[in-house]
Structure 1
Amino acid sequence: MAAPRRDTRGIVDATDLFAHVDFRRREPAEPLRPYLEHYWLIDWNLPQPYASHVVPHPSVNIVFQQYENQAPFAEISGIGLTLFTQKLEGRGRVCGIQFRPGGFRPFAPHRPVSEWTGKRIRLPDTDPTPVLTPPDEDARVAALDTYLLSLGPRPDPQADHAMALTARIRTDRTIRKVTDLAQEEGVSVRRLQRLFAAYIGVSPKWVILRYRIHEALERAETDGPVDWASLAADLGYADQAHLIRDFTATVGVPPTTYAGHRAPQGPTTPMAPHPYTN
């Protein structure tokens, strides 16, 4: 399996985030790699409050969290459907597990993943201290491995299929419509939708759109000017106006404004217990 991703897709104004927090990605133990994107670790010690913004991936996360003057806790975070904003202040630590799209179901086989979508569920029977308290980062990663391996993921060919399909959507720009994907897979659109609801948590159309916005967001982070009309065509949009509409609805500002200022404005989701950091 490949090493953890090094891109910044989904992170709004990644340069600013990295200037305020210590952010790392780490690889899980080998038996877990088919199911996980990576672990993500954040530590901060801020003299002033800072707000992070993320456009979530189509992934479930399990997150261990410690905030100043709060008891540590762990929770399952389903796929976030809208721009996520989190205020960080003082000193804190987060150790997260990002599953591959489709990779969470083998750890929780009795419920469709769509039941977690848009929700954050505390895990009261999970002690977060073995993950959060070790001063050594390798020890924290080892504790994450131990925790997940104790859950005993169940091999599931349908989960493997779902992971392969979303990986293809992420990398293959020729996949622009659900009907095209269904035709190439030799299945009905309805069957594809049922698979995604059960194993991904969102529709295939949502995944296609989200990965488009991630790529547009990353391109907006570049230092040079972006040809938005060409990018819209590359991403399968009918025209530039459709890309601008989707980008604005997701990030909160038009892409040209974001490229100039790299700071989201307008309505966002309410503050929540932890940052989705993808």
Structure 2
Amino acid sequence: MPRGSDNLAADTPDGDTVRVRDEREVGGRWRRHQHHEHLAPGAALAPWVDHLWTVTWDYAEPYEQKVPPSASVHLTARDGAPPRWHGVTTRHVARTLSGRGRVVGAALRPGMARALVGPVAELTDGERATGGPSGLVDAPALALWLEDRLPATPDPAALEAAAAVALVRDDPDLRRVEDLAARCGCHPRRLQRLFAEHVGVGPKWVIRRHRLGEVTDRMAAGAPLDWAALAHDLGYADQAHLIRDVTDLLGETPTAYAARYPPAEIL
């Protein structure tokens, strides 16, 4: 993989030494080569699909794009190739982009993929072919193909799983599986089984992902971060435990991750 000449090797507040990086990876420069678009799904897809998306790129030399972990199952079609299912990703993944290309996708609502892919945990951190046709080169075409394969109505258990994930998303004070189970009116073990079948990961991971999402959102916005205060707000014992969790999830420390965004002061 070609690398740029920017040398970012330096000690950082989270104890990391940043490696020499591809200059396109720093300060949001990758955005010069990529265009991202999100679209709302139509009424028929809305119960199952959170959003449709398109990414186009133009790179003279190959670029390794890091994609953060996702709690959604995605349906994608790259450069008109047959569509593929991508399971929930529990850590960041790297996709190599080169030349000009385009990928369109549909992000399913967490909890709603079971009717389309089978037990969702079996697809976690993996992907497989759908058996679909080539030529789905835009989001509307992918949406129509997916719509033809949907059941008439959502499964009640899927709706229950989706509602549990929505509770985690909407209530930042939910930090323990036992508390989520109580809110859902079920035993934690039943919640674990429900998430394995319909979400693809356990409720503890989903809670952790949504709480840490606040960290990455703030870094992406370029806002100053007080790590000690943020750790306290998110229920961590101290800054070190928060940074450890972010690093485990993203595969790099927060400061290294933040370097890919426009200039931000990381306190």
In the superposition, the TM-score normalised over structure 1's length comes to 0.79
Q: Conserved in 1, the CA contact under 8 Å of 2:69 and 2:250?
A: no
Q: Conserved in 2, the CA contact under 8 Å of 1:13 and 1:221?
A: no
Tell me how far apart the structure 2 counterparts of residues 91 and 256 of structure 1 sit (CA, whole Å): 30
Task: Say which is worse superposed, 191-200 or 159-168, in terms of deviation.
Answer: 159-168
Deviation (angstroms), 1:214: 1.9
Deviation (angstroms), 1:103: 1.6
Deviation (angstroms), 1:14: 9.1
Structure 2 counterpart of 1:31, from 44, 54, 58: 44
Name the amino acid aligned to 2:239: Q
SS at match of 1:63: strand
Which structure's CA Rg is the greater one? 2
Aligned match of 1:64: 77
In the superposition, the TM-score normalised over structure 2's length comes to 0.82
Percent identity (aligned): 39
Tell me how far apart the structure 2 counterparts of residues 236 and 58 of structure 1 sit (CA, whole Å): 21
Aligned match of 1:272: none
Aligned match of 2:119: 112
SS at match of 1:49: strand
After superposition, the CA RMSD in angstroms is: 2.0
Name the amino acid aligned to 1:57: S
Tell me how far apart the structure 2 counterparts of residues 35 and 158 of structure 1 sit (CA, whole Å): 13
Regions of 4+ moved over 6 Å:
none
Q: Conserved in 2, the CA contact under 8 Å of 1:173 and 1:236?
A: no
**Stretches of structure 2 lacking an aligned partner (at least 5 in a row):** 1-24, 262-267
Task: Say which is worse superposed, 222-231 or 165-174, in terms of deviation.
Answer: 222-231
Aligned match of 2:149: 151
Tell me how far apart the structure 2 counterparts of residues 213 and 150 of structure 1 sit (CA, whole Å): 36
SS at match of 1:43: strand
Aligned match of 1:3: none
Kindly provide the CA deviation profile for residues 202-227 of structure 1, in whole angstroms up to 9, marking residues without a partner as x. 00001111112222112122333201
Task: Say which is worse superposed, 91-100 or 234-243, in terms of deviation.
Answer: 234-243
Aligned match of 2:58: 45
Task: Say which is worse superposed, 44-53 or 170-179, in terms of deviation.
Answer: 44-53
Aligned length: 236
Higher relative contact order (CA 8 A, sep 6+): 1
Kindly provide the CA deviation profile for residues 61-88 of structure 1, in whole angstroms up to 9, marking residues without a partner as x. 111112xxxx823211111121111110
Instruction: Map 1:192-271 onto structure 2 (within 5 A).
Output: 192-259=191-258, 261-262=259-260
Kindly provide the CA deviation profile for residues 66-121 of structure 1, in whole angstroms up to 9, marking residues without a partner as x. 2xxxx82321111112111111000111011110101212334xx31111111110
Deviation (angstroms), 1:58: 0.9
SS at match of 1:31: coil
The answer to whether structure 1 residue 141 and structure 2 residue 154 are counterparts is: no
